[in-house]
């Protein structure tokens, strides 16, 4: 089955692997947004054909800034793109003790991790059809009762805000048949994790986690709506 899939935060790590996973299904069309789209461009050159078949549309945009909607509006119109799956995978992590966190750290993390999702989903509302699945990528650190880590207070708080936003969207959009969930990921071996926890070896690779997310994005909304689901073998 062909689907139109929008992935926000797709330039590297789990998001880039998610694009690869979604491309495995023939005819899927993926609109992939990130600030750095160099790897997405290489991928697009392989899957898009000269005869005009477009399967991957990389869009360079900073979702922490309000003006991203203009470039997205143009792309939706040009490719007649009607998102059926939207994954908000954008993540920014500043690892600092609570006492050292600045207002700028707060703004950077909340702009990327929460405000971008708010703006993206609000912008997309008129473009979403019945059956659409909205998925927020949150973190185990944001899951109530889970183990917490020093240095991640604001990051975890921002990811908790994203998760609850997804719960609330499920409620507000239920009459339109739109479903929304959040996945609270445990540790995955990516650039973000390596920077935050140098030397730590995560139990899962980005491609393994992306395979799970891809399957959940396609099939999970039949079984889950308005849920924050822990996806972790590493943290209690
Ligand atoms: N790795 C883990 O252990 C772990 C655990 C729990 C949750 N997560 C979450 O999983 C998601 C993926 O993380 P990852 O480990 O793959 O990290 P990553 O490699 O740093 O990827 C983060 C993604 O977000 C994009 N991004 C960041 N700021 C952006 C902005 N302002 N506008 C547009 N795109 C932006 C990045 O691309 P550009 O830099 O090109 O923009 C990249 O594609 C994140 O939401 C993260 O919080 C990860």
- Is 60 part of a structural domain of the chain? yes
Is residue 154 lining ligand 1, measured as CB closer than 6 Å?
Answer: no
Is residue 163 lining ligand 1, measured as CB closer than 6 Å?
Answer: no
- Average the pLDDT over 50-79 and give the result: 94
Kindly report the protein residue whose alpha carbon is nearest to atom 47 of ligand 1. Answer: 91
pLDDT at 51: 85
Find the 122 Cα to ligand 1 centroid distance in Å.
Answer: 21
Q: Which of 90, 184, 198 to mutate to test the pocket of ligand 1 (most atoms within 8 A of CB)?
A: 90
Comparing CA positions, the residue from 115, 183, 179 lying closest to residue 143 is 183
Please state, in angstroms and rounded to a whole number, the distance separating the CA atoms of residues 217 and 12.
Answer: 18
pLDDT at 236: 65
Q: What is the chain's mean pLDDT, rounded? A: 96
- Is 58 part of a structural domain of the chain? yes
Q: Residue 160 is encoded by which pair of tokens?
A: 């908790």
Comparing CA positions, the residue from 180, 61, 82, 78 lying closest to residue 126 is 82
Indicate whether 80 pLDDT > 70. yes
- Is 236 part of a structural domain of the chain? no
- Average the pLDDT over 191-195 and give the result: 92
- Is 152 part of a structural domain of the chain? yes
- Is 104 part of a structural domain of the chain? yes
The total number of structural domains that make up the chain: 1
Could you identify the atom of ligand 1 that is nearest to the CA of residue 11? 43
Task: Report the share of the chain in percent with pLDDT over 90.
Answer: 94
- Is 211 part of a structural domain of the chain? yes
Output the pTM of the full model.
0.98
Q: Which of 13, 40, 232 to mutate to test the pocket of ligand 1 (most atoms within 8 A of CB)?
A: 13
Find the 221 Cα to ligand 1 centroid distance in Å.
Answer: 23
Kindly report the protein residue whose alpha carbon is nearest to atom 1 of ligand 1. Answer: 188
- Is 46 part of a structural domain of the chain? yes
Q: Residue 165 is encoded by which pair of tokens?
A: 């936003």
Comparing CA positions, the residue from 205, 90, 72, 164 lying closest to residue 127 is 72
What CATH number is given to the structural domain containing 210? 3.40.50.720
Beta-bridge mates of residue 231: 185
Is residue 62 lining ligand 1, measured as CB closer than 6 Å?
Answer: yes
- Residue 184 banded pLDDT, cuts 50, 70, 90: very high
Kindly report the protein residue whose alpha carbon is nearest to atom 45 of ligand 1. Answer: 91
- Is 148 part of a structural domain of the chain? yes
Task: Report the share of the chain in percent with pLDDT over 70.
Answer: 99
Find the 192 Cα to ligand 1 centroid distance in Å.
Answer: 7
Indicate whether 155 pLDDT > 90. yes
Torsion of CA 200, 202, 206, 210, to 10 degrees: -150
Domain range for residue 205?
A: 4-231
- Average the pLDDT over 107-118 and give the result: 98
Residue range 194-219, pLDDT digits in tens: 998 899 999 999 999 999 999 999 99
Q: Provide the 3-class DSSP secondary structure of residue 143.
A: coil
Kindly report the protein residue whose alpha carbon is nearest to atom 44 of ligand 1. Answer: 91
């Amino acid at each position: 089955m062909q689907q139109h899939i929008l992935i926000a935060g797709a330039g590297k790590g789990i998001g880039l692997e998610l694009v690869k996973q979604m491309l495995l299904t023939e005819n899927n069309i993926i609109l992939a947004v990130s600030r750095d789209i160099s790897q997405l461009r290489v991928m697009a050159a392989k899957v898009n054909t000269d005869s005009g078949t477009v399967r991957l549309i990389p869009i360079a945009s900073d979702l922490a800034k309000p003006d991203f909607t203009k470039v997205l509006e143009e792309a939706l119109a040009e490719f007649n793109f009607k998102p059926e799956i939207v994954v908000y995978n954008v993540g920014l992590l500043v690892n600092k003790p609570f006492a050292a966190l600045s207002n700028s750290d707060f703004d950077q993390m909340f702009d990327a991790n929460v405000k971008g999702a708010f703006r993206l989903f609000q912008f997309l509302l008129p473009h979403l059809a019945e059956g659409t699945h909205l998925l927020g990528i949150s973190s185990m650190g944001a899951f109530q009762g889970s183990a917490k880590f020093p240095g991640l207070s604001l990051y975890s708080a921002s990811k908790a805000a994203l998760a609850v936003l997804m719960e609330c969207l499920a409620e507000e959009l239920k009459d339109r048949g739109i479903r929304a969930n959040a996945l609270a990921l445990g540790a995955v071996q990516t650039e973000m994790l390596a920077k935050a926890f140098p030397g730590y070896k995560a139990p899962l690779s980005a491609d393994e986690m992306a395979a799970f997310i891809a399957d959940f994005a396609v099939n999970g909304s039949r079984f889950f709506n308005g849920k924050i689901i822990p996806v972790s073998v590493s943290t209690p």
